[in-house]
Structure 1
């Protein structure tokens, strides 16, 4: 081969290499099918977004919203009492010197206090906090940690299992708080932030968008006469265990939802999370604050979503593709008095469009017994309107009030009266519940929060305990004596312990 041929060959190879390189670059900058990205390509894409070239679109400011909200989102730790594994101490075992089944010091493995961890949102400067009912359900003590690490013990003002909400109160003033926004104005595709304490990681902020509204995921089942309300905001902001009860806010830092649930096969975030809309939260909080119980206005109709499946099942053609089919009307109900009939299709409440059952339930749940709602419905192809006066579950318009239990304290012990539903459940005529216990002698003896004291034995004999005040009176008159405390845990397990 001559030198001339050699150089021509090298030049041709260089040209071909250049063309191939340009073609490769052209291919890489073309939009690729999402399914063709491997792990390294995805990592590179993320790195590119985090580079100096990437900027947040105009008008979006996550920083300002996070700074407003984070100080007002708290960490909620709820202690839940459980009974010892052994129902009663056996005097025969103790007589023959067998080990105390409660373990060393009488503490007992069964006397451990499991802790439920979640989040909460301060909604007023004087210490009212909203959280999920499932975060504090069964709690005998609720510890609140603020973002600045201040600690408080909270009192439960009221709970509502039908919406999975609870209202707490701490003794503090001038607290940072989150203002309520209007979840009705929230649009699908709108940016939102989720703030909470996932996996005990305090003050965690994640971002996402509103993915859908009025979602029913069937997480609240068989609660209080099947009056559960599920009309969740769905978002792709990352939410994990511990976020429950935390804030979902818009970019103005306004509360538009309380994070409640995730859809996951693993128990951790898999792309879908759900929040109770703020319009419903505000109504429930107002009720609990004013009355101690939620005031539910009911339409009194049996309802189903309009759907092709229902159309096929009933063998009838619906005049609309979306709406709520009335399958029946209860006697003495608001719907009955308003003239609603089986076969009607509800398409609106108070001028708002109704597409499904969740949507209808949320709109009605914002009302109270005695409130009037305008119901738009279709009957025999004709659209009509009627006014319905909502009633409560008892069939009247009375407001239900619940008194907040009064607590009594004595040397680090806090007692309250046994609630009526617990008396009925355990067939008790009275008793005193250990609400809080910071008395070391009682702790060592085996006293646990939530334990119900029914009687005590002292040198003067056995005394029945009718209520918390009676327990305080007994302790004040028996100081210095060895006493035996008898009672049971909330699950009915009987137990007793000795203390001085």
Structure 2
């Protein structure tokens, strides 16, 4: 290629890049204006808690003498090493434990939202503003079930964030977090919405927003913004195996947080709807057993006596398909939908019962503060064996029925080789339903077991230590 042609080719490439680069840059969001406007309302939160420790001046049971260490290492060991009681009777001393988190101001008169776990068990809460001034905060109220806490600081004309709604978010949309990871105030990280309505273990009342925004210790309680500069969530959790960010972070939707904060502000506590049922996931085999086209819904494994569900006609074995026209895809969808219903209001449930769809209207109750466990006692009574399933069952006594609040059922006395052993049944388990039929006696159980179909999913409802669940199995020819 001649020099002239080479120069023309290079010039064309440069011209093309000049056209392409601005267009590519235009596709990437510019967060600068959002940060400048919103960052002043984001605060750092630290807590102090007096904790009794063994005196560091003594060294016993093989623990190191911490007094000679630099302060930063001494604090680490005091915080993490177990401190047993001094056998010489020293009572020890008091020290202050500090935790760092984030929060954001939602009103000009000083109301602040954060996570419950950031301020839990604190004796003192300190809020540091963007201008580095520190104010002592009062805890208005906290809700461990959603991990939301509302604080109040004294002030006027404080900077505030704009509040938005997570329901308008779309998967793939850009979002931004501002917080204090590892104590680095007003750190900004960005990413996209990875999923919506995520249900996490032990968090039944929050349909989390999943993002890939870098969230680390100290970000907890901080705001998650959309591109309009509106807070759409509170950064709450990460999934990690290393202790640091691994690309999975979860935020509490703003609708949930605001509902909780409004209740905390008005009454200091949160009231949630409650049905009084124990539910479980519907897998492929259970779906086949209950006549469903696909695995979906929440299977009712237990209905608490005198609870809202029992009074409304919900039955064990019903599969709840929707609540107030909101579809139940996973069983974990149900708790936060029920929790959002105000106690005393009527909810419409679509259920699958014995192969047919049925609509129920149930007056929702208030979620109790503490649950109650039921225990299964030992068994005695009329014995009946089912060699086909490989177990021995006996009738429940009247005392046992009363103790576990049952009208019928049989208890497993012994498990032999066979289907029962393969599916994990064990002595003491109570069986109330087999193949969608109520078990009122050992004799009934044996008869139903003899007529079970081959090579088709069969359901069985089992109570173990007061907890009910459905299991499925298949019998060979």
TM-score, normalised by the number of residues in structure 1: 0.59
- Aligned twin of 2:156: 173
- Aligned twin of 1:57: 27
**Distance in 1 between the 2:368 and 2:181 partners?**
40
User: Within 5 A, what are the aligned runs for 1:442-457?
Assistant: none
- Aligned twin of 1:384: 358
- Aligned twin of 1:156: 139
Aligned pair in 2 of structure 1 residues 387, 186: CA closer, same or farther (>3 Å)?
Answer: farther
User: Within 5 A, what are the aligned runs for 1:358-369?
Assistant: 358-369=332-343
Matched, 1:116 2:99: yes
Displacement of 1:86 in angstroms is 5.5
- Aligned twin of 1:85: 54
Displacement of 1:300 in angstroms is 1.3
Displacement of 1:192 in angstroms is 1.2
CA contact (8 A) 1:279 1:366 kept: no
Matched, 1:286 2:262: yes
Displacement of 1:374 in angstroms is 2.4
User: Within 5 A, what are the aligned runs for 1:337-352?
Assistant: 337-352=311-326
**Distance in 1 between the 2:282 and 2:37 partners?**
42
1:89-116 Cα offsets, whole Å, 9 max, x none, are xxxxxxxxxxxxxxxxxxx974221101
Aligned pair in 2 of structure 1 residues 182, 373: CA closer, same or farther (>3 Å)?
Answer: farther
CA contact (8 A) 1:82 1:112 kept: yes
- Aligned twin of 1:241: 217
**Distance in 1 between the 2:291 and 2:348 partners?**
25
**Distance in 2 between the 1:391 and 1:82 partners?**
40
Displacement of 1:385 in angstroms is 2.8
**Distance in 2 between the 1:217 and 1:172 partners?**
37
- Aligned twin of 1:434: none
Choose between structure 1 and 2: higher strand proportion.
Answer: 2
CA contact (8 A) 1:188 1:212 kept: yes
**Distance in 1 between the 2:338 and 2:367 partners?**
14
- Aligned twin of 2:295: 321
**Distance in 1 between the 2:277 and 2:226 partners?**
35
**Distance in 2 between the 1:174 and 1:205 partners?**
24
- Aligned twin of 2:349: 375
CA contact (8 A) 1:65 1:250 kept: no
Displacement of 1:54 in angstroms is 4.1
Unaligned 5+ segments in structure 1 are 1-13, 15-50, 88-107, 221-227, 396-500
- Aligned twin of 1:253: 229
**Distance in 2 between the 1:149 and 1:251 partners?**
27
Displacement of 1:317 in angstroms is 4.4
CA contact (8 A) 1:75 1:197 kept: yes
1:339-368 Cα offsets, whole Å, 9 max, x none, are 222222222222222212332222222233
- Aligned twin of 2:245: 269
**Distance in 1 between the 2:166 and 2:245 partners?**
23
1:176-215 Cα offsets, whole Å, 9 max, x none, are 2223322223222222111211111111121111111222
- Aligned twin of 2:465: none
What stretches of structure 1 move > 6 A for 4+ residues in a row? none
- Aligned twin of 1:23: none
**Distance in 2 between the 1:63 and 1:280 partners?**
28
CA contact (8 A) 2:42 2:178 kept: yes
Count residues in correspondence. 323
Matched, 1:296 2:266: no
For 1:76, which of 41, 45, 50 is the aligned residue?
A: 45
Q: What secondary structure, in the 3-state scheme, does the structure 2 residue paired with 1:303 have?
A: strand
- Aligned twin of 2:412: none
For 1:139, which of 119, 122, 131 is the aligned residue?
A: 122
CA contact (8 A) 1:157 1:167 kept: yes
CA contact (8 A) 1:180 1:282 kept: no
